[in-house]
């Protein structure tokens, strides 16, 4: 499936597939910034490569979860107004008008000017209610997978059995927040390798590995793990703000 991906920052990616535009996990606040919620404080260290004003018309926002500012900040939340938002069932309840809640394995179609994409929610294991997404274009044999914030766990292995994954956009960073536990709550390089093998993905696009202080592992960790697994040729790095065309 042909797609154009533009990494804006963190897990915010603009996707153009079949003439439709999707935006993932919108984070657009200037940096540095500090966010407090409950006992947790998160610090951003780098801002987005594009502003909301520089985006094309967005046909849908794919929001893995609404509760953490590294996936939905103040500016990103403002951007949701007037757009179709696909997110968790609990998140749709909090966001209200325009939000469509999807349980894992539930699907929703986005249609504009006779062009359609089918979006299916996938399970995720994080802190709170989170989903990932499968994006399919009618007539195409391969699908695109967006992991959302998750670690690798057994239920994700169903994806590679149910779909042929051409491109996998994986959320790395091994995010750690002491207040909720010692274990990372997003992929590190080793888990990314395991998930790549399970998905049998031809191309892996890393995101969510920089720009926040609670990300404990960066690009070097991903590179090392994929080198050791002899999967370096699967990695496709995006330059923030620059469109990249994938077949």
Is residue 41, in this structure, part of any structural domain at all? yes
**CATH number of the domain enclosing 40:** 3.60.15.10
CA atoms within 13 A on the CB side of 210: 18
* Domain that residue 136 falls in: 3-236
Is residue 72, in this structure, part of any structural domain at all? yes
- The Cα 142–Cα 201 span in angstroms is 10
Angular region, 71: left φ>0, alpha ψ -120 to 50, beta rest:
alpha
Is residue 97, in this structure, part of any structural domain at all? yes
Is residue 64, in this structure, part of any structural domain at all? yes
- To 5 degrees, how large is the angle CA 22–CA 241–CA 230? 85
pLDDT at 101: 98
pLDDT at 124: 97
Is residue 243, in this structure, part of any structural domain at all? no
Give 97 or 229, the one with higher predicted confidence.
229
Residue 220: other Cβ atoms inside 10 A = 10
Chain mean pLDDT for the chain: 95
**What is the tens place of the pLDDT at every residue in 21-56?**
999 999 999 999 999 987 889 999 999 999 999 999
pLDDT at 217: 94
Is residue 241, in this structure, part of any structural domain at all? no
Is residue 246, in this structure, part of any structural domain at all? no
Q: How many domains does one find in the chain?
A: 1
Is residue 229, in this structure, part of any structural domain at all? yes
Query: By the 8 A CB rule, do 64 and 124 touch?
Result: yes
> 24: closest CA among 75, 85, 102, 107?
85
**What is the tens place of the pLDDT at every residue in 84-136?**
999 999 999 999 887 999 999 999 999 999 999 999 999 999 988 999 999 99
**pTM (predicted TM-score):** 0.96
pLDDT at 39: 86
Torsion of CA 143, 50, 28, 179, to 10 degrees: 70
- The Cα 122–Cα 133 span in angstroms is 5
Task: Tell me the mean pLDDT in the region 185-198.
Answer: 97
């Amino acid at each position: 499936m042909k797609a154009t991906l533009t990494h804006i920052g963190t897990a915010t990616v603009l996707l153009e597939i079949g003439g439709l535009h999707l935006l993932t996990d919108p984070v657009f606040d200037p940096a540095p910034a500090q966010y407090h919620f409950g006992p947790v404080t998160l610090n951003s260290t780098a801002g987005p490569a594009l502003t909301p004003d520089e985006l094309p018309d967005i046909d849908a926002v794919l929001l893995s979860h609404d509760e953490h500012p590294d996936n939905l900040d103040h500016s990103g939340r403002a951007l949701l107004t007037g757009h179709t938002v696909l997110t968790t069932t609990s998140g749709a309840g909090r966001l209200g008008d325009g939000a469509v809640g999807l349980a894992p394995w539930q699907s929703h179609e986005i249609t504009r000017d006779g062009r359609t994409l089918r979006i299916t929610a996938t399970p995720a294991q994080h802190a709170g209610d989170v989903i990932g997404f499968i994006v399919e274009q009618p007539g195409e044999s391969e699908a695109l997978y967006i992991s959302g914030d998750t670690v690798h766990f057994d239920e994700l292995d169903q994806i590679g059995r149910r779909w042929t994954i051409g491109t996998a956009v994986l959320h790395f960073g091994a995010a750690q927040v002491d207040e909720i536990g010692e274990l990372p709550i997003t992929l590190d390089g080793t888990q990314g390798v395991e998930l790549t093998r399970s998905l049998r993905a031809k191309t892996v696009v890393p995101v969510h590995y920089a720009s926040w202080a609670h990300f404990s592992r960066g690009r070097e960790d991903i590179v090392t793990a994929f080198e050791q697994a002899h999967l370096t040729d699967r990695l496709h790095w995006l330059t923030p703000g620059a469109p990249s065309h994938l077949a």
